[in-house]
Amino acid sequence: MDKPTTPATMRALSQDTAGAPDVLRLVETRRPEPGRGEILVRVHAAGVNPADWKTRERGVFADGTRPPFTLGFDVAGVVEQVGDGVTLFQAGDDVFGMPRFPHPAGAYAEYVAAPARHFAPRPRGLTHVQAGALPLASLTAWQALVDTANVRPGQRVLIHAAAGGVGHLAVQIAKARGAYVIGTAGAAKHELLRSLGADETIDHRTQDFEELLRGSEVDVVLDPLGGPHRIRSLRTLRPGGTLVALLPPDDSFPAKEAEQAGVRAVFMLVEPDHAGLREITSLVEDGRLRVIVDEVLPLEEAARAHTLGETGRTTGKIVLTVVA
């Protein structure tokens, strides 16, 4: 293992209890050490995702981890040390990734230690901030559309919340797969969606997507919203079509309705994915995928970042800068 040349402590955002954004506080804590098969990354930028503020509010991670803990999954930075057995990276490499999800990764901090294969080289031409915005949202879109739904050329794909963090990347990934892309968003964001490749846009405030698309032979629906959108989206699908839900099933999950309609309704949870990150990198470097960063704030202003994110009005992603 490389000999550490970094400080023994680091700055991190921690929370001791569930609650509003103001429970987040800046602390000095022990820097992690990379174990076998792991790398230590000096974090330059950390993306902010709905999973972050939902975990903060509940005060518990999906795996049961309770406070005190440090939020954050999206990481972009520079490899500081490599653990025994790591051959993918060496100190000084620029990387990005979504380590350990859904277990705590601690990205709202100056250093993160995690398995090497939860990262990939930072795409050429992207800043740390842009790369920090990508991992969770782009992997969610990729795994939903490619690995789960197997989107193919000529298929019709409906993407809800198409201007959001996952949505704006999903539009581009579906388009790169040769699909006809329909996106729902407020009218003010339709021009952006068209610039990203959307073939058709629907204003969710003034138009009924179910009425407009019923019988239109939609092949795949990507739904990050849940609730009544699920059953209404089923009614737009052709027989054999697929609804990919990004929120966990609840009493409103239309499993029985999907079976009766001859379509598939599945819940998908994103996973760390080195190969998927390499596919995302190829799209970025080929000019077929660009990430939109709506707001950039310093680590100390994570509470403000959460407040902005919880409005549901952001376009693209919010990113925290950790190291300038």
- Which pLDDT score is estimated for 10? 97
The CA distance from 166 to 135, in Å, is 10
Residue numbers in the chain where pLDDT is lower than 50: 1, 4
Q: Nearest 5°: CA angle at 13, between 11 and 18?
A: 155
71 Rama class: left (phi>0) / alpha (psi -120 to 50) / beta: beta
Q: Give pLDDT, residue 323.
A: 84
Taking the domains of the chain in order of start, what are their residue ranges?
9-134+291-321, 137-267
Query: What's the confidence (pLDDT) of residue 313?
Result: 85
C-alpha angle 161-166-167 in degrees, rounded to nearest 5: 35
CA distance 201 to 169: 15
Fold of 137-267: Rossmann fold (3.40.50)
How far is it, in rounded angstroms, from Cα 72 to Cα 8? 21
**CA dist., res. 107 & res. 134, Å (int):** 14
pLDDT, position 324: 59
Spatial distance between the Cα atoms of 164 and 44, rounded to a whole number of angstroms: 23
Which pLDDT belongs to residue 152?
98
Instruction: Enter the tokens of residue 141.
Output: 């879109």
73, 49 contact by CB (below 8 A) = yes
Per-residue three-class SS string for the chain:
CCCCCCCCEEEEEEECCCCCHHHCEEEEEECCCCCCCEEEEEEEEEEECHHHHHHHHHCCCCCCCCCCECCCCCEEEEEEEECCCCCCCCCCCEEEECCCCCCCCCCCECEEEEEHHHEEECCCCCCHHHHHHCHHHHHHHHHHHHHHCCCCCCCEEEECCCCCCCHHHHHHHHHHCCCEEEEEECHHHHHHHHHHCCCEEEECCCCCHHHHHCCCCEEEEEECCCCHHHHHHHCCEEEEEEEEECCCCCCCCCHHHHHHHCCEEEECCCCCCHHHHHHHHHHHHCCCCCCCEEEEEEHHHHHHHHHHHHCCCCCCEEEEECCC
> pTM for this structure?
0.95
Domain 9-134+291-321 has CATH 3.90.180.10: yes
Determine the pLDDT at residue 5. Answer: 65
The pLDDT of residue 250 is 87
Cis bond before residue 99 (omega within 30° of 0): no
Spatial CB neighbours of 247, under 8 Å, sequence gap ≥ 6 = 223, 224, 225, 226, 267
Q: Do domains 9-134+291-321 and 137-267 have the same CATH topology?
A: no
Residue holding tokens 């009005």?
Answer: 313
